[in-house]
Amino acid sequence: MKIFKTVEIKIAVFVIAGLFLLVWGINFLQGVDIFKKQYKYYVEFERTDGLLASHSVVINGMIVGIVDNIELMAEKGNKVLVTIKVDKGVNIPTNSVVSIYSPSPLSSPQVNMVFGDAREYFKEGDTITGTASSGMLDGLGDLVQDLRQVATSLDTIASSLKVTIQTGVIDSVLDNIASLSHRIDVILAHNASKVDDIVSDVHGLTSTIHQNDEKINSMISNLDRISEELAGEKVQQGINDAVSAIAKLDTMLANINQGNGTLGQIMVNDSLYHNLKNSLNSLDLLLTDLKANPKKYINVTVFGKKEKNK
């Protein structure tokens, strides 16, 4: 009897140990460490974007917990309540941002936490309001739309090519190319001697150029020397003289505009112009009268003859 009792005790111990290992293994595969103390929090999301139980809870890329449960709240407009378990010692500030994030297109979604700077912290069992986050998959919608537009454009191009082929346009183009090629062949055949002469002349020209390489190089050197001389001191002196003359002319025109000098007074002073004009008119009248009545201005006295007293 004692032997049977001993065997039964061993069997019971093995069964209990097996059950324990089974429970521990299942939790281990789910990312739950039954020997680690964890705090439970609740997060409300508008949508979960493929998030499942046993997915990770991360802070700055480091796993600090797991998703324990996900349920739909019909009484709150079909919002999703996500239960998360976070390791002991991880205090979540009340102004932290909790969101669902996909690190890469091939990885599973995870709950991502960005801690705030508040001095107060959530307590175990508190409900946190989750926010939407822009993951790597969020831009795929626009990409798919762009790909659809590209596919539509390609389909349009393919349809146009199909219509072009069916209407025989390409065959016509190929026939024209073949006809043009045949005409070129005929022209070359009828003018073979002329083509040979042209090639011979070109060859002779290139030979002449090669034979006179030294002369050509000498000409280029002379042109370089002439250009350097033109760009030397004489040209620079001429430019300086021209600039000086332009500056003097500019100064003279400025003085004239300001009324300086006789020419400037004539340009800006109307009275001087009118006086000069009147003087010229008076001189003209005087000369005219002198020509008409010379005796009036010239007194001729005969030697030895006294003028009679009147």
CA dist 160 and 168 (Å) reads: 13
| Helix (H) / strand (E) containing 67 | strand 62-73
List, in sequence order, every residue forming a beta bridge with 110; answer none if it has no partner.
101
Tens-level pLDDT at each residue, the chain (310 residues) = 555 557 677 677 777 877 766 765 665 555 555 556 789 999 999 988 788 888 889 998 888 988 989 999 989 889 999 999 998 888 999 999 999 988 777 778 899 999 999 999 999 999 999 887 655 455 555 666 777 788 888 888 887 777 766 666 677 778 788 888 888 888 878 887 877 888 888 888 888 888 888 888 888 888 887 777 666 666 677 778 888 888 888 888 877 777 777 666 666 667 766 777 788 888 888 888 877 887 777 765 544 555 544 4
Task: Give the three-state DSSP class for 101.
Answer: strand
CA distance 19 to 12: 10
Q: CA–CA separation, 309 vs 158, rounded Å?
A: 134
Closest C-alpha among 97, 68, 66, 95 to residue 83: 68
Query: Among 34, 42, 96, which residue's Cα sits nearest to residue 68?
Result: 42
pLDDT of residue 7: 66
Q: Where are the beta strands (DSSP E) in 88-220?
A: 97-101, 110-114, 127-129
- pTM recorded for the entire structure: 0.38
Separation of alpha carbons 272 and 78, rounded Å: 103
